[in-house]
Structure 1
Amino acid sequence: MRKTETLASWIEQSNNIVFFGGAGTSTESGIPDFRSAAGLYQTEQHSPYPPEVMLSRSFFVKMPEIFFDFYRGKMLHPDAKPNGCHRLLAKLEAQGKLKAVVTQNIDGLHQMAGSKEVLELHGSVHRNYCMGCRRFFELEKVMASKHLVPRCPYCQGIIKPDVVLYEEALDQHVLISSMDRIAHADLLIIGGTSLTVNPAAELVSYFRGSRSVLLNLDPTPYDSKAGLIINDKIGDVMEEVGQLLRI
């Protein structure tokens, strides 16, 4: 039996599926990941500041102009569309099989594909708030700003993306909800993540079921624990699985 057939069979037999995903989930949608050979952290070499530094809270506060120049140029992909992975997950949720998507991504592609129960560990580029009056703004406001550092039209405060930067804590409600969903899943599908960024990567340790699947191009620290490993493009894999499930 092919691995995709095994995955399709496991999905058919499950009724409480949780998907835990990272940047690799969106690479086939044209959004680069971070840590692969072609990832943002490997290819972004022209700046005197490493991406990890520019994406930190302290750097954002001290040098907002450089932060937003990098953020707009490298982190925003408004034309990206969901791929086969996003689409299949949304269909499985509509069937009642998938109970939650836990994602490290900030691109909003799961929601664009139709998923409703999405737990965004690192926030979303589609939510932005004024650091002064706390009003919220859509991504379009940041994109259309005439100034490099977007400002609130009401109080002139800086509009900060509602994303978790380095040195910032994860939202505790989202974190606890993610733990609970994973702990009660009967099938955990892990996709497109190196499982090296904590505390997010530690969430998979809460899984108590007997079936876990790892979809990733490269090896991860979880490989020895996964019941099924598929080292291939996650969008293509899920597209094939959807065809096998006829959904």
Structure 2
Amino acid sequence: MENKERIERLATWIEASDYIVFFGGAGTSTESGIPDFRSAAGLYQTEQHSPYPPEELLSHTFFMEHPEVFYDFYRSKMLHPHAKPNGCHSLLAKLEQEGKLKTVITQNIDGLHQTAGSTNVLELHGSIHRNYCMDCSRFYSLQEIMQIKETVPRCPDCSGIIKPDVVLYEEELDQQILMRSVQEISTADLLIIGGTSLTVHPAAELVNYFHGSKIALLNADPTPYDHRAGLLIADRIGKVMSEAAALLHRDI
């Protein structure tokens, strides 16, 4: 089956569904100019010559012991304040407005789904747009963090280190968000999975809670869950979703 036919089937599935859930990862935002982690052009490959591997840099222990090195990496590689939503984000927001798509579950921390207009977004790994003082819990927006000139942002009230509300290695996912994700996926009549290698756990295991027959998996590279998909599309997700939007006569 050609990709054109696969996208036509995706559009048909979307039109026939009433409870769509989208589960996405870093590949959802690559067409918005945000690099992913594990692809050939991802952070884990391009940072191989760093003294510290990204998995170590982005760990809780490393943040606590070397906040200045963490923040240097975080500011230069993880923050993309000027990134704009692509066709995937836009179609999902449109489908939510129509009541067809119920929830976006994302491993991304960039907030692009909300920028596009989605409101029911479950952020498994947190968000760069929420930041808190570790001592007094005062909230800071991304804009406020960007305006602080010191490498390690500190709270002007108590001098405590400000930590982004993102889940680092060695930290547990928010159990309430995880349970809501399980509930949404188990209720869905169509699960669209996009831009994720499905190798990061426990997030990847959420796929197992879908009980229907319609899983559309949109990812450039193979995943461990390809055998579960009723529809596989190996292409850029923003491009695929834009083409699906055209077939659905949705103006995005």
TM-score when normalising by structure 2? 0.97
How far residue 45 of structure 1 moved from its aligned partner, in angstroms, is: 2.4
Which residue is equivalent to 1:181? Answer: 184
Which residue is equivalent to 2:101? Answer: 98
Matching of residue 219 in structure 1 with residue 222 in structure 2? yes
Select the residue among 67, 85, 89 that pairs with 1:86: 89
Aligned-partner residue type, residue 193 of structure 1: T
Which residue is equivalent to 1:130? Answer: 133
How does 1:158-177 map onto structure 2 within 5 Å? 158-177=161-180
Which residue is equivalent to 1:237? Answer: 240
Aligned-partner residue type, residue 206 of structure 2: L
CA shift digits 1:126-150 (9 cap, x unpaired)? 0000001001110012111121100
Unaligned runs of 5+ in 2: none
Distance 1:201 1:142 in 2: 31
How far residue 46 of structure 1 moved from its aligned partner, in angstroms, is: 3.1
Select the residue among 70, 74, 84 that pairs with 1:71: 74
Aligned-partner residue type, residue 178 of structure 1: S
Deviates more, 1:189-198 or 1:41-50: 41-50
Which residue is equivalent to 2:154? Answer: 151
Please state whether the residue corresponding to 1:181 is helix, strand or coil. helix
Which residue is equivalent to 1:196? Answer: 199
Please state whether the residue corresponding to 1:241 is helix, strand or coil. helix
Which residue is equivalent to 2:58? Answer: 55
Aligned-partner residue type, residue 227 of structure 1: G
Matching of residue 141 in structure 1 with residue 161 in structure 2? no
Distance 1:153 1:47 in 2: 32
Please state whether the residue corresponding to 2:192 is helix, strand or coil. strand
Distance 1:114 1:178 in 2: 19
Please state whether the residue corresponding to 2:105 is helix, strand or coil. strand
Distance 1:155 1:142 in 2: 16
Which residue is equivalent to 2:10? Answer: 7
CA shift digits 1:196-217 (9 cap, x unpaired)? 0000000011001110000000
Distance 1:144 1:71 in 2: 15
Distance 1:18 1:99 in 2: 6
Matching of residue 41 in structure 1 with residue 44 in structure 2? yes
CA shift digits 1:108-130 (9 cap, x unpaired)? 00000000000000000000000
Q: Percent identity?
A: 71
Displacement over 4 Å in runs of 4+: none
Unaligned runs of 5+ in 1: none
Select the residue among 109, 112, 119 that pairs with 1:109: 112
Please state whether the residue corresponding to 1:2 is helix, strand or coil. helix
Deviates more, 1:227-236 or 1:43-52: 43-52
Distance 1:3 1:168 in 2: 38
Please state whether the residue corresponding to 2:229 is helix, strand or coil. coil
Q: How many residues align?
A: 247
Please state whether the residue corresponding to 2:88 is helix, strand or coil. helix
Please state whether the residue corresponding to 1:224 is helix, strand or coil. helix
Distance 1:233 1:131 in 2: 39
